[in-house]
Structure 1
Amino acid sequence: MTTVVFTHGTGVREPHLTALLTRVASGLAAADPRVRLTAYDWGGPHGARLAADGASIPAAPGTGTGRGTGDPDDGDGTEEWARLYEDPTAELVTVPGGAGPRVTPPGAAFPDERPRSLLREIAARGEPRADALGPGLPEAAAELARSALLGPAAEALDQETLALVLARALTATVIAARLAADSPVQSGGDARDTAVAALAERLGAAPAGTGRGPLLRTAGRPLVRLGSRYAVRRRRALTDAAHPAAGDILKYLARGEAMRQGLRDLVAALEPPVVLVGHSLGGIISLDTLISGPLPGVELLVTVGSQGPFLYETGALPSLAHPDPLPAHVPPWLNLYDRRDLLGYAAEPLFPGRADDIATDSRQPFPVAHSAYWTDPAVYRAIGERLP
C-alpha cells in the first residue's frame, strides 16, 4: 500500500487542517482506493507565532501608549493621496458630481480651454519647482491636456480649485509611475505638496508664497475623502490574521531545519513506497528535505502550487543554489501549478529531465486559485497516474 505524506502550506492550523485533509483524502481515494494518507502537521510544532503576544505591533492610533500614537492621517490627506496613487484621476472624476453645467455665453471661451493650454505649456517646458517628483511630468501634463475628464471638472469648479485638482492629478501620475517602476527613491510629503503648489500656480491658482501658506496646506489635502484609515486602525487584527502565513515563510527560510527534520522522522517510520505531496510552502519543505539528503522509501515527489522553483532561481532555496543540478538521489518530481495561481511556479524549465510540469486551470482568480487545487479532479488524476 502506498502512503502519501501530505505537507500543508502556509498559515494552515486546526481546525482548517482537518477539513483540508478530509478533502484531499477523498480526492486521492477516487484516484486510487489503495492509497493511505498521512499528514505532516509542521504548523503546530514549528509554525510561526507571536511569541510576545504582538509586542512589535505599534499601538493603534489614539490609545495613548507608545511613541507616535496620534492618528497617522490626522487630516493631512495621507489616505487620500494613497487613493490618488492608485488612480490619479479619481478626484477629477468625483469632484464634478452633483454640479450643474456652467452656461458659456456665445463667443466666450469654454471653461477647459485655458487649463488645457496651460497643461500643454507644462508639457513643453516642464516646471523646475516640481523636479523633486522625478521624471515624467511633461508626459503626464500632455496626457491630462487631452483628457475628456477635464471638461466636466472645469465646468464644475472655480479656477483656484480646478488648478489644485489638476496639480494633484499630475503629481499623483508621476509618483504612481515611479511606484510602478519600483523606483527606490520617492519624494516625501513636503516635497510633494511643494510641487503641487508650484503646479497649481502654473495652472492659474494664486501664488503659494513662502512657507506652508494656505495654498501649500491645501495642496496636500485632496478635496474628496478618497480613502480610509481602516488598515491602520485595525493593524493588530490584520496582523493576527496574516502573520501565520507570512511568518511561516520567513521562519522557514531563517530556521527551517526543524521542519525538515520533522518530515525525515515521519518518513522513517513509514513502510515504503512513500509519496511526498506538498502544497505551497509544504512543497518547498518536501523538496528541500529531499535535496538535503536521501529519504529511503520515497519514490515520488509532488509539489502543488509551490514556490520551490522560484526560490531556486532567485538563490533563496536553502538546500540548492542555482545553477547546481538536483542531486541524483531526488526521486521523480511532478510539479502542478494553476495558470491563474500567482504563487505557483514551473520546475521543468529549470530541471529538464528531472521534473515534469502539469498546468491546471481551476477557473478561479487569484488568490482563490492558490487554494482551489484540492477540489480539482485533474490534480488527483495527475497524481493517481504516477503513484507507485
Structure 2
Amino acid sequence: MTTVIFVHGTGIREREYNETFEIIEQKIHAQRPDIKVSPCFWGGLGAKFNDNRASVPLEDATLALSQREEDADIILWGQLYRDPLYELRLLSLKPKPIESGNLFGEQPRDILESRVASLTLASQLQAKLQEAGIAEVFEQAREDVVHSEPYDQALLTVCESDLSEYYAPIARAIIAQAMFISEQQEKFSPILTDAQLRDKVVELLTLALTEAELGLGEWLLKPLVGLAQHGGTYYVKGNRLEVTDKYSPVPGDILLYQTRGEKIRAFIQQQIEQAEPPVVLIAHSLGGIACVDLLVQQQLSQVELLVTVGSQAPFLYEINALYSLEYGQLLPEPFPEWLNIYDLRDFLSYVGNRIFPERVQDVVVDSKQPFPRSHGAYWTNAKTWEAIISRLP
C-alpha cells in the first residue's frame, strides 16, 4: 500500500494542520481510496517562547508612543516608500470642482502647476538636500513627479478653497521619489533612515512652494487616521503581545530551522521509516525545504516521489543557503522523483527545473488569490490534484 505523508510549512497551528490534512486526505481518497494518508505535524518542534515572551516590549511602554497623528504620518510614509505617488493618487480621487466663470482666466490648478514648475531652491533648502544626500537626484525626482499621470489627475481636482492642501503632498511625493531613486542607485543617503531630517526637508520644500499652512489637508487626514486606528501601527503598538503571538511563528520557524533543523528532519525521517512503502512526501513551504535537505543527506529508498508545494528550496539553493547542498553540487543519484508545484501569485513559490535540470518537474497552478492568501490556496485547487494524483505510485 502506498503511503502519502503530508509535511507542513511554517507557522501552522495543530488545528489548522488537521483541517488541511483532512482536505488532502479527502482529495486523495476521492480518486485513490487505496492510498494511506499519514500526518507529519512537526509544529511542536517549531519556534516557541522559552521565557514567557520576556523579549517582547511591555505593552504599557509602547502605548506611551501611540499618538494617532504620529501613527497616521508613519502609515502615510510607509505607503510613500512603496509608491511615491500614493498621496497624489488619493488626491486624484477627490470630486473635480466646477470651473470658474472665466474659462480663459487662471484656474487654481494653473497656480499650483506654475509654482511647482518655477520652483527655485533657496540656500537653506539646497543645504538641507545636500545634508540629506538627495541633492543630486532632486531635479530628476521633481521631473518624474510632474510628468506623472497621478500628478496630472490630482491637479484636475484643485479648487481655490483647498489649494493649500496640495503643496505638502506634492513636496512629499518629490522627496519620496528622490529617496526611491537614491535607493535604486544604491546610494544609502541619510534621509532614508532619518525621519526628522526627512520631515525637515519636506517642510522647507513645502515653504518654497507656498507660505500656506503645512500638513495634511482635512480631506486626506481623516481616512489615514482611521487607518491608523483600525489596522496600522496604532493597533500593533497597543496589542504587541497579541501581534507577536500571531505573526512570530512564521519567521521564528524559519530561523529555528536554519540554525537547528536537525530535530525537524529527524522527525520527518521517523515518520517515513514507520510508513508502509512506497512513500510519497507532500511538503508545503518550509516543509519542502526540510524534505529536500533530508533526502539529500539520507538515502531513503522507500520515498518514490517528493511533491513540494509553494516551496523555497530552489531559491535557497541558488543563493547558496540550502543547508544540505552547496550551490554547484548536484542532487545525489538516489534522490527521488521531484514534482514542484508553484503559483505565479504566490511570491514564496519558486521553480526548480532551471536550477536542477531534468531532476525537477515544475507545474504551475493559478489560485486566483492575492498574496499571501495564494501561499495557502493550493489544496483546494483542482490543478494541484491533477498534477499529484496522476503521479502517485
Per the shorter chain, which TM-score range?
0.7 to 0.9
- Which residue does 1:264 correspond to in 2? 269
User: Greater CA deviation, 366-375 or 147-156?
Assistant: 147-156
Q: The residue matched to 1:284 in structure 2 has which SS?
A: helix
- Normalised by the length of structure 2, the TM-score is 0.82
Alpha-carbon deviation of 1:6? 1.2
Taking only aligned residues, the RMSD between alpha carbons, in angstroms, comes to 3.2
Structure 1 or 2: more helix by fraction: 2
Unaligned runs of 5+ in 2: 229-233
Residues 25 and 37, structure 1, Cα contact 8 Å, conserved in 2? yes
Matched ranges for 1:1-388 at <5 A: 1-44=1-44, 46-60=45-59, 63=60, 65=61, 70-71=64-65, 73=67, 75-76=69-70, 77-85=73-81, 86=83, 88-90=85-87, 93-94=90-91, 103=100, 109-122=106-119, 128=126, 129-131=128-130, 132=132, 134=134, 136-145=137-146, 147-153=152-158, 155-157=160-162, 162-176=166-180, 184-185=188-189, 186-205=192-211, 218=214, 224-225=221-222, 226=224, 227-228=227-228, 229-388=234-393
Pick which of 126-135 and 243-252 moved more: 126-135
Give the paired residue count: 370
| Deviation sequence 1:289-320 (CA, Å, 0-9, x none) | 00012113112211111111111111111101
CA contact (8 A) 1:133 1:174 kept: no
Q: What letter is aligned with 1:171?
A: I
Contact 2:108 2:163 in 1 (8 A): no
Letter in 2 for 1:149: A
Cα distance change of structure 1 residues 33 and 52 upon mapping to structure 2, 3 Å threshold = same
Aligned residues of 1:123 and 1:137 also touching (Cα < 8 A): no
Looking at structure 2, the residues matched to 148 and 99 of structure 1 have their Cα atoms a distance apart, in angstroms, of 10
Give CA-to-partner distance per residue, 1:191-248, whole Å, 9 cap, x none: 1122122212321327xxxxxxxx8xx56x6752424122332332222111222211
Question: Structure 1 27/139 Cα, relative in aligned 2: closer, same or farther at 3 Å?
Answer: same
- TM-score w.r.t. length of structure 1: 0.83
Deviation at 1:278, TM superposition (A): 0.8
Find the aligned partners of 2:389 and 2:74 in 1 and give their Cα distance.
Answer: 53
Q: Which runs of 5+ in 1 are unaligned?
A: 207-214
**C-alpha distance in 2, partners of 1:38/1:242?**
28
SS in 2 for 1:202: helix
Pairwise CA distance, 1:32:
1.9
1:139-196 Cα offsets, whole Å, 9 max, x none, are 332344452323533523355x544343233223333555678865415122112212
The CA deviation at 1:123 is 8.9
2:372 partner amino acid: P
Query: One-letter code of the match for 1:169?
Result: A
Corresponding residue for 1:212?
Answer: none
| CA deviation after TM superposition for structure 1 residue 11, in Å | 1.7
Structure-2 separation of matches of 1:323 and 1:26: 40
User: Structure 1 residues 316 and 73, CA, compared in 2 at 3 Å: closer, same or farther?
Assistant: farther
Partner deviation per Cα, 1:10-54 (whole Å, 9 max, x = no partner): 12222222211111111111232221111111112x111122222
Q: Which deviates further from its counterpart, 172-181 or 330-339?
A: 172-181
CA contact (8 A) 2:112 2:163 kept: no
